[in-house]
Structure 1
Amino acid sequence: TTPTLGSISSPGDVGITPGWAGTDPTEAELDALAAEIQAEVDALLAANPTMDKVIMLGHMQQIGIEFGLAERLTDVDVIVAGGSNIRLFDDNDRARDGDSDQGQYPAFIDNAGGTTTAVVNTDGSYKYVGRLVIEFDANGNIIPESYDADVSGAYATDDQGVADLNAGALIDPEIQAIADAIQDQILATEGNVFGISEVFLNGNRSGSGTGEDPDGVRTQETNLGNLTADANLDYANEMFGDGDDIWVSVKNGGGIRASIGQTVVPAGGTEPVRVVNEQILDSDGTVVKPTGGISQNDIQTTLAFNNDLVVGQLTATELVAVLEHGVAALPGVAGQFIQVAGVEFSFDPDAPSGARIDDAAFVDPDTGEIRAVLVDDGVIVNPDQEYGVVTLGFLAAPRFDDDGSFIGGGDGYPFPEDFDFAPLEQEGVQTGDATFADDGTEQDALAEYLLDNHNTAATAFSEVDTGPEDDMRIQNLAFHDGAALDSAVDDFIFA
């Protein structure tokens, strides 16, 4: 597993070695991890003298790390990568509608022993089944030329994938019965509808990285990130604040696990398009979920961790450090990437990490007017002024390394060690209009917010997702000129 486990998850007292300073390892940190793995490989082979084939299962979150390990290791023949959701395809694999090809399946990499290692990966959520059939020579080394794209690769698990294999008659009746029972439960949760959207809500992890590509909840602002951050801000003020005591909502893109909507090829079309959820009918033809409906199932899927919410006060300096961390991993794809409400900021991704934010301002969520300026041309305004913040307990809770040194919150977020936050979660308490999740959690916040603001066709959520060249809350200056925000900040200061 990844050495970043302590920051991206909550493993308790599990020991982790080697230690990494962040989610994007240095060459030395990769060397240290490879040394740990190599020691285990060597011990395995020494204990089993007739063994000459080694397969490693990795969950490094970034496939570039598995590629780097393949170069450094000896006697590892195959690495099955994981956690990055990077779609690797061979030359005749078919991507599901709306999915892009992100690399070659498998990646053949020259390793430290002078042989070849095959690295394979497929997308998550059971969208594909990866298959690798490969031959070995007499010394147990893979023969890359034996790879056959007609046999191996990433197989799409949609209906067309079954038809392409002529496998309809092979469906197991016992498995189908289980699937049908699950479908009954899904219909029950799909029928518990809280809101309506007239746009596709984008929770895709990453995209092409171009200015017009909207994909990348771990690389840019998205409309789904905005919606859930807005919900948390509104919820915190209703539960804890005095109307508007909490000005800012901060969450990590890694906590958003799926989009809300569907990707289809319309009748008569040839290209996939992203649309809202389709209408769902039960066996009697009764509408269970309207077109564009956002259900309990959608909320539980996209916010699968159901993080607890906490509120507290941060100084301007502390808050800027949090925002800086949220964009520090770029150009990498990392779960720490930030999603926000109540604040707009611009940043230069080419500047050093920790010194990227150019302008930042607090914005009234109802009027869009600036409340106060946080950063002006890279300079923090009123550094000691405190502001109310709602965030996730996962990000705020302090973590310590093996020697007891403070290392920040979840995903490495630099919330102060003495951050005096108040938890909103009430375990086992489910009140209000939405009662499927505990009060004070993200799922409950989104459900209640949708009911209050977007529960009819007339009030449907309508914010179309855009690429970074048009994003407004998180303005990447590699794509966006940031001029409007810069001017608004200057006007506010000199008004």
Structure 2
Amino acid sequence: TSAIEAARQQVAALKAEGVFTIIALTHVGINVDRQIAREVGGMSLIIGGHSHTPMGPMNNVRTPPYPELIAGPDGKPVVVVTDWEWGRWLGDITVAFNAAGTVIDLQGNPTEILPSLPADQGFENRIAVFRGPLDQLRARVVGATAVDLDGNRTNIRSRETNLGNLVAEAMLAKARNSGATIAITNGGGIRASIPAGPVTVGQILEVLPFGNTLALVTLTGAQIIEALNNGVSQVESGAGRFPQVAGLRFTYDPSLPATSRVTSVTVDGKPIDPNADYVVVTNNFMLTGGDGYSVFTRGRNQVDTGFILADVVEEYIAANSPVNPAVDGRIAI
């Protein structure tokens, strides 16, 4: 289901319950938020995330404004806001609606989270209760890497990296006994690098902070090509859907139309068979269509294994330490 269609369905369901003021909380990026505002009637406010977009005072040019008003399909204004990234700003918006749910007054005053802001001591005390055992867990060394592992945001979302290869290979190693021969994971789920040397639990959790689990799905070769095309369709914007892979090699041309950029895919040195079935290991976010991978929702034999991806990578590093992954050309441009 596309974000647009999902929004339409939810608005209809809420209106059927008598709701007349609808506020959407999304994580699809500001461009999709704007599209939802323009195309889906019945919403008054969209509070979004995912694209890490600074608005208003969060950037030097103060555009887009905070908040941003988008005309809905009925001509009524829809408020769109996001508060950038990583807790740097606290969003603050006051909205007044009339009885029909139409915005009639609006004030936005986001606050930058500066070191000079006084901490709430009660909150700090609660953090201290949990910090000790968590710090011990984070500091536990599970293995070592002989090389720097590249999870740089720009790199992991646009090209093959050795850390992307390691994560994909760890997934495939865990799922081979279940018949998997290919691994595809989204680069946007890999959030940090690891320097050469000892590797701790904390570093792995920084790389893979979302708690995603391994998932299995049977796809045809044609569906795998479709998935890879989705993965490279927004490479120019640094979208998180860029695929990091194991068990296959592919070439793509970013100058081609977004839906047909993949020019070759090989498995075991041979062109992928569009009609053959392949068991693919991915993550549960992608299995449900996350990052545009709707093709996975049409696959067969879908299974969420429950294995947490961070635990799988920890296990793989411990078993193969010191790891020394390389960029081997499995993704070519």
Same fold per superposition (TM over 0.5): yes
Q: 2:140 aligns with which of 155, 175, 192?
A: 192
Unaligned ranges ≥5, structure 1:
1-19, 46-53, 96-100, 205-212, 262-275, 277-290, 363-370, 400-409, 428-439, 464-470, 481-495
Deviation string, structure 1 residues 396-437 (Cα, Å, up to 9, x no partner)? 9899xxxxxxxxxx8541675368x8x9x6x8xxxxxxxxxx
Greater share of residues in helix? 2
Aligned to 2:318: 451
Q: Are the counterparts in 1 of residues 151 and 190 from structure 2 also a CA contact under 8 Å? A: no
What do residues 432-472 of structure 1 show as CA deviations (whole Å, max 9, x unaligned)? xxxxxxxx6533431132124344xxx66676xxxxxxx94
Q: The residue matched to 1:324 in structure 2 has which SS? A: helix
Shift of the 155–395 alpha-carbon distance from structure 1 to 2, 3 Å rule, reads closer
Please identify the structure whose Cα radius of gyration is greater: 1
SS at match of 2:313: helix
Query: Is 1:251–2:185 an aligned residue pair?
Result: yes
Paired residues of 2:52 and 2:84 also in contact (CA < 8 A): yes
Indicate the residue corresponding to 1:173 in structure 2.
Answer: 121
Equivalents in 2 of 1:69, 1:35: separation in Å? 11
Supply the distance in 2 between the matched residues of 1:311 and 1:141 (Cα, whole angstroms): 44
- Determine the structure 2 residue equivalent to 1:202: 151
Separation in 2, partners of 1:71, 1:189: 47
Instruction: Report if the CA contact (8 A) 1:94-1:155 is conserved.
Output: no
The question of whether the paired residues in 2 share the 8 Å contact of 1:74 and 1:113 is answered with yes
- Residues paired across the two proteins, number: 322
Using the size of structure 1 for normalisation, the TM-score is 0.52
Q: How does 1:61-76 map to 2 (within 5 A)?
A: 61-72=28-39, 76=43
* Alignment of 1:372 onto 2:269: yes
Contact 1:186 1:297 in 2 (8 A): no
Q: Contact conserved, 2:26 with 2:46, CA < 8 A, in 1?
A: no
Match of residue 270 from structure 1 = none
Cα displacement (A) at 1:343: 1.8
Quick one: which amino acid aligns to residue 72 of structure 2? N
Q: Provide the secondary structure at the position in 1 that maps to 2:91.
A: strand
Match of 1:417 in 2: 300
Give the fraction of aligned pairs with identical amino acids, expressed as a percent: 19
* Residue 120 (structure 1) aligned to one of 73, 81, 84: 81
Look up the match of 1:107.
68
1:338 counterpart = 2:265? no
Gaps of 5+ in 2: none
Shift of residue 61, structure 1, vs aligned partner: 1.9
Mapped partners of 2:311, 2:63: distance in 1: 35
Equivalent residue, structure 1, for 2:112: 155
Q: CA shift at 1:109, angstroms?
A: 1.9
Provide the alpha-carbon RMSD of the alignment: 4.6
Counterpart Cα distance in 1 of 2:63 and 2:315: 37
SS of the residue 1:443 aligns to: helix
| 8 Å contact kept, 1:233–1:249 | yes
- Aligned match of 1:307 in 210, 213, 225? 213
**Per-residue deviation at 1:177?**
1.0
Task: Give the whole-Å Cα distance in 2 for the aligned partners of 1:453 and 1:155.
Answer: 44
Local SS of the residue matching 1:304 = coil
Aligned residue number for residue 19 of structure 2: 44
1:182-230, Cα deviation, whole Å (9 max, x unpaired): 32133111122224455364274xxxxxxxx4253xx654443322102
Deviations 1:84-117 (A, max 9, x none): 2432232x4269xxxxx99543222233454533
- Secondary structure class of the residue paired with 1:308: strand
Q: Alpha carbons of 1:325 and 1:135: their partners in 2 closer, same or farther (altered >3 Å)?
A: same
Contact 1:231–1:446 (CA<8 Å) still a contact in 2?
yes
Q: 1:3-14 maps to which residues of 2 (within 5 A)? A: none
SS at match of 1:413: helix
Q: Distance in 2 between matches of 1:223 and 1:79?
A: 37
Higher strand share goes to which structure? 2
- Equivalent AA in structure 2 for residue 214 of structure 1: N
Q: 1:73 to 1:462 in 2, by over 3 A?
A: closer
Return the TM-score normalized by structure 2: 0.72
